Amino acid sequence: MESAPAGRNAIPDLLEYAGYSKSKLDHYVENAALLKRRIATNRTYLKGLSAEPLCVSWPPPEAAELRYRTGELLSVVGRFADEGTAAALRTVRERARGEACDRLRDAAVARSELTDGEREAIASGELAAELAAARTELERLNSTLEAHEAP
């Protein structure tokens, strides 16, 4: 597929083309019969191809796991992806070594778990007001407890 012009097409497109009639397919590829034959014999394999194993989940895993995962991915991706992709992955690996990684991950986890209502409460300041009121109440309770402690 690398040397054939049809190999420049995305796999989903090739799978779609294989369902076209020969006359319609002649508009897309040089050898319609060969493409149909090759796709037909490899359809199950091609349908199962996915980038999922090459993806990093979001929110990302903890720093140590992310460093390990990016190392694995670089050894694979470096064989077929362009330099921009490999460079982006190296950037992720370097950031996983930084001190801010765990803090950023915690923020990503929190953000992914917030509901729309919670996001609105944060944006409107409602949550900050509730937090301030809770802290004031905690201080009042602590003062009351200290005043009533046994000598």
pLDDT digits (tens, 9 = 90+) for 104-139: 999 999 889 999 999 899 899 999 999 999 999 999
> Model-level pTM?
0.56
Asked if 60 and 87 sit in the same domain, the reply is yes
Q: How large a percentage of the chain has pLDDT more than 90?
A: 41
Question: Which residue range is the domain that position 120 belongs to?
Answer: 115-147
pLDDT digits (tens, 9 = 90+) for 59-92: 999 999 999 999 999 999 888 888 999 999 999 9
Q: Identify the residue whose tokens are 């014999």.
A: 41
**DSSP helix, strand, coil percent of the chain (3-state; round to 5):** 75, 0, 25
Asked if 103 and 57 sit in the same domain, the reply is yes
Asked if 56 and 100 sit in the same domain, the reply is yes
Asked if 44 and 13 sit in the same domain, the reply is yes
Average pLDDT rounded to a whole number, residues 22-39: 85
Asked if 106 and 133 sit in the same domain, the reply is no
Q: For the chain, what is the largest distance between any 2 Cα atoms, rounded to a whole number of angstroms?
A: 98
Instruction: Check pLDDT > 80 for residue 7.
Output: no
Mean pLDDT of the chain: 88
Instruction: Check pLDDT > 80 for residue 150.
Output: no
d(CA 6, CA 80): 18
Asked if 33 and 59 sit in the same domain, the reply is no
